[in-house]
Every structure is written in C-alpha cells, then in structure tokens.
Structure 1
Amino acid sequence: MPENTGQQRKVIADAVVSMDGYTSTGPDDDMSWAMQHISSEQSELMYEGIWRGVSTALVGRVNWEGFTAVWPGLTSDPNSSARTRDLGNWLATVEKVVISTTLQQADLDKTQWSNARVSRDLEEEVRSLKGAPGRDILVINSASIIKALLQADLIDELHMAVMPATLGGGVRLLPDGLTSTWQLSHATTIPATGAVILCYRRP
C-alpha cells in the first residue's frame, strides 16, 4: 500500500439506482434492470477511473456473496473484455473489508479472492481506514453500508448511476430522515443505455 501523503483518504460510495430511488428489488434481485448499463463499454471506462485510485474496498455480506460467486468466472472468461478482466483481477487482490455480523473469516477464506477480512463495526472501521496510509476507499453498491455511512457523515463522494427504470419497491439507497448538502462534481449521460451518472462531493 502506498505511503500516506498527509491527506486523509476519501470514502467514495458508488451505486446503481433506479429512477424511483432503489438499488435493488430485494435479496433475489438479478440486476437485469441495470445490466445493459453495467456491461456497457462506457460504464467500464468510467468505473475504471474510480477503482484505479482505490486501495481498499468495502462490501456488505450480500454483495460479497454475489461478487465472489460471479466475478471469478468473468475474470477467467476469455470472452470478457480486457477492462472486465482487469477489474476482476483488482477485486480479487485489493484489500477488502466485508462488513458483516454473521460471516466469519473462514467464510471469506473459502473463496477464490484473497486479501479480505471481516469487520463488525462499520463506523470504527471506516474512521480507522481514513486515517491509515493508502489511496481512496470505495463502497461498492452496498446500500446498507452507504446508508449507515451517510448517517454518520463519513462519505466524501457519492456516485450514482441512475437507470431509466422504476422498480416500484425494494432496497432504497438514501436513508429516510437524512438532511445533507452536496456539491455536484460532474454529471454525464450514456446515450446507449439512457443512464445518467451523477457525482456529488461534500462541500
């Protein structure tokens, strides 16, 4: 891990969200409503611009189990794009902190991914990571973690890819009752998929 330059590490939250504010329809969501965007070349390019500046990834139990079931196959598939394979290799080796009250370290060690550990206390973990050496910290599409960190005022950048779809219910990204102010860093559209990318920073 690179030496700390004296600046505190940023916590970046990245999520795919529907027009009506949901990140998924629930535990069995297959993400088909967002796959055209997720698999697009433009999306891969933009996401690469985020993860290459990150040295720690935060995920919850559901995403951990989903990612480790799917990504090793994508990474080894010769039909996957070069950027997909690069991302898969990064996910497999980057420092990963899995926030869970039920998973054990032995559960993580059973997967093909390395450099992962369980943490029980999200806020304490993030405060410690922000003060430690390294590049930025990325929360990967885990709504429960993003909600908790927003309420604790521990997110520095919030990236939302808004899909041209409504889900009508499911898991919301933003917590009820949260009051906060953000500055728009940049916004872009992906005409091929209809997605709008919004990137906000805390002032």
Structure 2
Amino acid sequence: MRDLIVTENITLDGVIDASEGWFSVADDREADQSDLVGALREQSAAADAVLFGRVTFEDMRGYWPHRTGDPSGVSDYLGKVAKYVVSGTLRDPQWENSTVLSGDLSEEIRALKARPGRDIVTTGSITLVHGLMAAGLVDEYRLFVYPVVLGHGARLFTDDAATHELRMVEARPFRNGVVLLRYRTT
C-alpha cells in the first residue's frame, strides 16, 4: 500500500494560503537554499505520483511547464511524474502524464493507494487536503514551517477538524529559517 503524504508550506500560526506572498524568506536569493532544495529532491525521489485539486492543478499547469533554469528540480520532476487531479468538472487535463479523478474521493484515493508504486504527494489544494483528512486517507504530513505569522488565512487544521494524534518522525531546520516537521498518522 502506498502512502499519501500531505506536504504544505505553512506559517507558524498554521496558515497555508500563500496568496499574500509570505514565501519571501525562502525566495531570498542571498540565502543558501541548498539544504532546502536537497530536502525537496529527497521528497521527489520517494514519490512517483502527485495529487492536486483542480485549482492548484491549473495553477501548477500554468506555471511549471514553462519554467526554465529551475534549480530546485521541481519543473523537471513535475514534467515526468504521474499527476492526478480531483475534479468533477475538468475533462481534459492538458498536461502530460495527468489523469482526472472524478469519482467518489475516498474510493478514488484508496484505489490509487492500492496500486504498486512509491509515495503519493499532495500539496496546496486546501479543499482537497481537508477532504482527505476528513476521510482518514492521510498517512503523513510534511510541513515546511516558515518563520512568519499572518494571523489570518486558510489553515491546514481548521476549527472543525477531527482530532488526530500524530507521531513526529523528523524535525529538520534549514539555514534560511524554514523548518521541516514530519508527522505520521497513528
């Protein structure tokens, strides 16, 4: 059985909505990003599928295939990896190696997890992630915690979220102030 990994960039106060541009710490061209980039490459090597909600998928499709000179390797990775988009309205994904999942969320994801392969990673996709959490389909959370407090915005764990006990498996700080926290579901 494959693991479903939720990977999110998150602020200290739990916000995962990046619409206000709070990634500036990681985007600082003066900061040494090699350790953070290394962690992203490790994650990519462990996963052979990426799962998106429709809005995040369309954002990614509009950005990554056109990015050149990407030192993180994300553009190359997304060009090769199997991509799945959960949508009841999208018919043609218009991105190589992409499949639309339009059936029942729990059934579609359980079937995907049952296929042979490595990890399945989902990132962004706030509505989808909340649905995966509610259905008990998440095996691990990988949270890249940014040293920023916003005080408002969409959160990973909402007030109506079910109680989850998690087991920490890693805490890794990076030179730019970001910290990776990995938690397994119990």
Give 1:1-203 correspondences, 5 Å limit: 8-24=1-17, 29=19, 32-37=21-26, 40-74=33-67, 76-77=68-69, 80-81=70-71, 84=72, 86-105=73-92, 108-109=93-94, 113-120=95-102, 121-175=104-158, 176-192=160-176, 194-203=177-186
- Cα deviations by residue, 1:62-110 (Å, 9 ceiling, x for unpaired): 2112112221232x33xx32xx3x32122012111101222222xx22x
- For normalisation by structure 1, the TM-score amounts to 0.81
- Cα deviations by residue, 1:151-192 (Å, 9 ceiling, x for unpaired): 111111101111111222221111323111111001011232
- For normalisation by structure 2, the TM-score amounts to 0.88
What's the C-alpha RMSD, in Å, of the aligned pairs?
1.8
Aligned counterparts of 2:167 and 2:22: Cα–Cα separation in 1 = 28
Could you tell me which amino acid in structure 2 is paired with residue 90 of structure 1? Y
Aligned counterparts of 1:66 and 1:38: Cα–Cα separation in 2 = 19
Could you tell me which amino acid in structure 1 is paired with residue 96 of structure 2? S
Question: Does structure 2 retain, via aligned residues, the 8 Å contact 1:21–1:174?
Answer: yes
Larger displacement relative to structure 2 (160-169 or 37-46): 37-46
The list of structure 1 runs, each at least 4 consecutive aligned residues, that deviate by more than 4 angstroms after superposition, is none
What secondary structure is seen at the aligned counterpart in 2 of 1:172? coil
- Report percent identity of matched pairs: 31
Structure 2 gaps, min length 5: none
What secondary structure is seen at the aligned counterpart in 1 of 2:157? coil
Could you tell me which amino acid in structure 2 is paired with residue 139 of structure 1? T
- Cα deviations by residue, 1:100-136 (Å, 9 ceiling, x for unpaired): 222222xx22xxx301011123221110011111111
What secondary structure is seen at the aligned counterpart in 2 of 1:24? coil
Could you tell me which amino acid in structure 2 is paired with residue 169 of structure 1? H
The alpha-carbon distance between structure 1 residues 38 and 154, as it changes in their structure 2 partners (threshold 3 A), is farther
The alpha-carbon distance between structure 1 residues 70 and 149, as it changes in their structure 2 partners (threshold 3 A), is same
The alpha-carbon distance between structure 1 residues 139 and 179, as it changes in their structure 2 partners (threshold 3 A), is same
Structure 1 gaps, min length 5: 1-7
Aligned counterparts of 1:151 and 1:41: Cα–Cα separation in 2 = 35
Aligned counterparts of 2:122 and 2:27: Cα–Cα separation in 1 = 16
What secondary structure is seen at the aligned counterpart in 2 of 1:188? strand
Tell me how many residue pairs correspond in the alignment: 180
